[in-house]
Structure 1
Amino acid sequence: MSKLTILANVFAKNDMIELVKTELIKLIAATRAEPDCINYNLHQDNDNQTHFMLYENWQNREALLAHMNTPHFKQYLVATEDAVESFTLNEMTSIN
């Protein structure tokens, strides 16, 4: 299978924006250090500060699954359990 692209959209609760942002930022260095992470980029919507988007590329789906089992990702889930309004994850494959 070819490289896997992830678009993850995280919507923080209105009163939890800074907490979610802080916890997402904590993920960056550890995730980028994972062996099969190609890139991991965090964005915040200019018009809707509750909306964070992660653009990620992984060598394959197995690498993504391994990432989801890392201590730093599990810690993020615990820290933001009651702070996230909604979350979507799209697994995509480049066609060009």
Structure 2
Amino acid sequence: MSEHTNLAQMRAKPGRSEALGAALQSLVAPSRDEPGCIIYQVHQSTEDPALWMVYEVWQSADDLGDHFTLPHMQAFVASVPELVDGDLDLKSFTRVGPTA
């Protein structure tokens, strides 16, 4: 079993940055309570307040996959078209070395 890390970047639609930030923040507590969640953080760009990033680390690919099926994630995905300008930029990584 190896850790899986996701980095998701997204740009809020004009005038929707605050709403996108609130929607992202609403995912933190329930995501952190999920089995296998190691880290779940929301970040906002210091240079562009419309640019947001979610940094998440999971114990396994299965835990991450389960995460996307839960009601809080499904509700967020349904809100993406009204909040996000363009596509989500989602990158996945697997840790390959020992922990620090």
Please state which band the TM-score falls in when normalised by the shorter chain.
over 0.9
> What TM-score, normalized to structure 1?
0.92
Take 1:87 and 1:95, find their aligned partners in 2: how far apart are those partners? 25
Take 1:26 and 1:95, find their aligned partners in 2: how far apart are those partners? 31
Aligned counterpart, 1:32: 32
Which runs of 5 or more structure 1 residues have no equivalent in the other structure? none
Take 2:3 and 2:96, find their aligned partners in 1: how far apart are those partners? 11
Measured against aligned partners, the alpha-carbon deviations of 1:8-49 in whole angstroms (never above 9, x if no partner) come to: 111111211011111000000000000111110110001111
Measured against aligned partners, the alpha-carbon deviations of 1:51-84 in whole angstroms (never above 9, x if no partner) come to: 1111110011111111101000011122332210
Q: Which amino acid aligns with 2:95?
A: S
The structure in which a higher percent of residues are strand is: 1
Aligned counterpart, 2:4: 4
Q: Which amino acid aligns with 1:51?
A: L
8 Å contact kept, 1:4–1:92: yes
Aligned-residue CA RMSD (Å) = 1.1
> What TM-score, normalized to structure 2?
0.89
Which runs of 5 or more structure 2 residues have no equivalent in the other structure? none
Aligned counterpart, 1:60: 60
- Residue identity (%): 32
Matched pairs, number: 96
Where does structure 1 differ by over 4 angstroms across 4 or more consecutive aligned residues?
none
